[in-house]
């Protein structure tokens, strides 16, 4: 009898959070409203510019940098690599709809046949493997050049991430949401601490950017890196900064985080690649 009550109790505890769980649509609405109230002078569409959307002085410097963007060389490399035939004569375009042009806004997505989140970088490497080529390293170099070029061809397209009516998709979304809000590391900080609750505040010499619109401009050229990097490179750096466990790039954990994180920017335009500190 005690064993039965214990089993029923565990089942009830598991079920309760899901019964009262907000839908992704509710999360998105509340997320947008939070930033609109926190930064009332920032038009919704301008959040794609990150910290430069909320600080005039930083924006002036950034506008000057964008006259001769530091990612231009990366874009040239990305276009060349994207169009260079594989050994079998095919190109990356053969693996994507619309030949891979103007599709960044659809990634990441949940593949209901495979039961997992597919990011753009994952799709790029799977394209290579399907055509007999070796995988590229995940965080920087050629893969960032290629995804940066693909993002550039998608500028102005509206981010439109879907959460299918599939419990596995909802679970992936919720896993990413949990990662975003969960405290971690020796500094006991969450993604949301820096980029939601304290967005606009100073940390040493840096102004914390709002999470709304974050992934509109990835992959990104960071002055700190002296080059381009993917979303998962940035995730790893954030976890290390709070002295937390770093997950492998393209792990289920980071793909789930990217799924939630990008969904929270639905309705905004792609403007990648970007240039940031």
Query: Contact, 139 vs 194, CB < 8 A?
Result: no
Does the annotation count 191 as an active-site position?
no
Annotated catalytic residue within 95, 191, 194, 238: 238
Say if residue 108 is preceded by a cis peptide, omega within 30 of 0: yes
193 vs 169: CA distance, rounded Å: 25
For residue 208, what are its two tokens? 């914390």
Query: Contact, 240 vs 246, CB < 8 A?
Result: yes
Q: CA–CA distance from 257 to each of 5, 136, 148, 158, 192 (Å)?
A: 35, 22, 20, 20, 12
267 vs 98: CA distance, rounded Å: 21
Query: Contact, 191 vs 180, CB < 8 A?
Result: yes
68 vs 73: CA distance, rounded Å: 11
200 vs 86: CA distance, rounded Å: 45
Q: CA–CA distance from 46 to each of 8, 150, 174, 179 (Å)?
A: 49, 21, 27, 26
Positions annotated as catalytic residues are: 238
């Amino acid at each position: 009898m005690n064993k039965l009550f214990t089993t029923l109790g565990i089942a009830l505890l598991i079920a309760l959070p899901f019964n009262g769980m907000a839908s992704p649509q509710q999360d998105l609405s509340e997320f947008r409203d939070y930033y609109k109230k926190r930064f009332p002078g920032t038009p919704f569409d301008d959040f794609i510019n990150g910290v430069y959307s909320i600080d005039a002085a930083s924006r002036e410097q950034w506008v000057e940098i964008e006259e001769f963007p530091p990612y231009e060389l990366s874009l040239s490399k990305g276009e060349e690599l994207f169009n260079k035939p594989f050994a079998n004569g095919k190109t990356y375009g053969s693996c994507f709809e619309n030949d891979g042009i103007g599709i960044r806004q659809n990634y990441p997505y949940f593949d209901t046949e495979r039961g997992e989140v597919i990011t753009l970088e994952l799709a790029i490497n799977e394209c290579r493997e399907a055509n007999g080529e070796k995988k590229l390293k995940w965080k920087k170099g050629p893969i960032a050049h290629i995804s940066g070029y693909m993002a550039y061809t998608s500028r102005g397209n509206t981010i439109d991430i879907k959460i299918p009516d599939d419990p596995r998709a909802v679970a992936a979304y919720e896993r990413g949401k949990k990662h975003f809000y969960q405290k971690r590391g020796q500094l006991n900080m969450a993604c949301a601490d820096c980029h939601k609750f304290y967005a606009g505040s100073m940390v040493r010499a840096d102004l914390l950017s709002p999470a709304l619109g974050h992934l509109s401009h990835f992959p990104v050229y960071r002055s700190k890196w002296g080059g381009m990097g993917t979303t998962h490179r940035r995730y790893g750096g954030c976890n290390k900064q709070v002295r937390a466990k770093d997950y492998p790039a393209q792990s289920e954990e980071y793909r789930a985080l990217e799924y939630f994180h990008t969904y929270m920017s639905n309705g905004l335009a792609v403007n990648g690649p970007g240039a940031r500190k």
